[in-house]
Amino acid sequence: MAKIKIQLNETKKDSILKNAAMLFRSKGFKATSVRELADTLGVEAPSLYNHIGSKAELLQEICFDIAADYSTFMQTIISSPENADKKTKKLIEFHIQKLFIDFDKVYVADYEWKQLPKKQLGEFLIQRKIYENNFVEIIEEGIKKKLFKKLQPRITVLTILSAVRGLEFLKSKKNNFTVEVLQQNMVNHLLNGITN
């Protein structure tokens, strides 16, 4: 009788979520079967249901965990006394670092959220919108203080968020840039592009 494979300092639930995120990222949520997930954990599919409620619940936990992390960081940024340019810099750096630490989960939250059950999809989009609005306010603040050029704040935010979201392409390639190099390059590009 096989047991769910776990690593040191990891609960079974952690292991399930980690493997689910890996599969959901590489194949997509819909294209990943519960049997497949069970395989990677070295166990039969129905055994998983001693630990999870449903397949959809896994996607849900991944997406909302990541959303919560972003929300938490945004709160610390908002309540910090720094200027808009420094805030923006820190946000860009955070996104890049977060992608490296929680690659699979961040990817899933970025690209597979559409597969969330209808009700949670709505809640997820609301949280995204709040995050985006917070970011827009920071940009607007920067424009008001003449730190930033007069561009449409919403387009600026979308441009920045999209750019950092696209980093997944660099992870799996030979071009193995370090987090620091990526942060430096992208801050330079994306921040200087809107700075007066």
Q: How far is the CB of 29 from DNA (least distance, A)?
A: 8
**Upper half-sphere CA count for residue 8 (Cβ side, 13 Å):** 0
Choose from its own copies, DNA, none: what does 84 bind? Cβ within 5-8 Å by kind: none
Residues whose CB is less than 8 angstroms from the CB of residue 176 and which lie 6 or more positions away in sequence, other chains included: none
Q: How far is the CB of 106 from its own copies (least distance, A)?
A: 14
Part in contact with DNA (CB under 7 A); list of ranges 27-35, 85-93, 107-115, 146-154 = 27-35
Cα 20 to Cα 14, 57, 142, 179, 188: the distances in Å are 10, 11, 40, 25, 35
CA distance 35 to 19: 12
**92 is a site residue for its own copies (CB under 8 A):** no
Residues whose CB is less than 8 angstroms from the CB of residue 106 and which lie 6 or more positions away in sequence, other chains included: 66, 98, 99
Count of residues interacting with its own copies (CB under 8 A): 38
Residue 100 contacts residue 168 (beta carbons within 8 Å) = no
The helix-helix angle for 84-101 and 55-78 (nearest 10°) equals 150
**15 is a site residue for DNA (CB under 7 A):** no
Q: Considering only residues 140-169, where is the footprint of its own copies by CB under 8 A?
A: 149, 151-152, 154-156, 158-167, 169
Residue 156 contacts residue 194 (beta carbons within 8 Å) = yes
**19 is a site residue for DNA (CB under 7 A):** no
Q: How far apart are the first and last CA of the chain?
A: 65
Choose from DNA, its own copies, none: what does 1 bind? Cβ within 5-8 Å by kind: DNA
Choose from DNA, its own copies, none: what does 182 bind? Cβ within 5-8 Å by kind: its own copies
Computed from CA positions of residues 4, 35, 105, 134, in that sequence, does the dihedral angle turn out positive or negative? negative
Q: Considering only residues 4-33, where is the footprint of its own copies by CB under 8 A?
A: 27-28, 30-31
Q: How far is the CB of 89 from its own copies (least distance, A)?
A: 13
Applying CB under 8 A, the residues found at the interface with its own copies are 27-28, 30-31, 111, 114-115, 149, 151-152, 154-156, 158-167, 169-170, 175, 177, 181-182, 185-186, 188-194
Applying CB under 7 A, the residues found at the interface with DNA are 1-4, 12, 32-36, 43-47, 49-51, 54-56
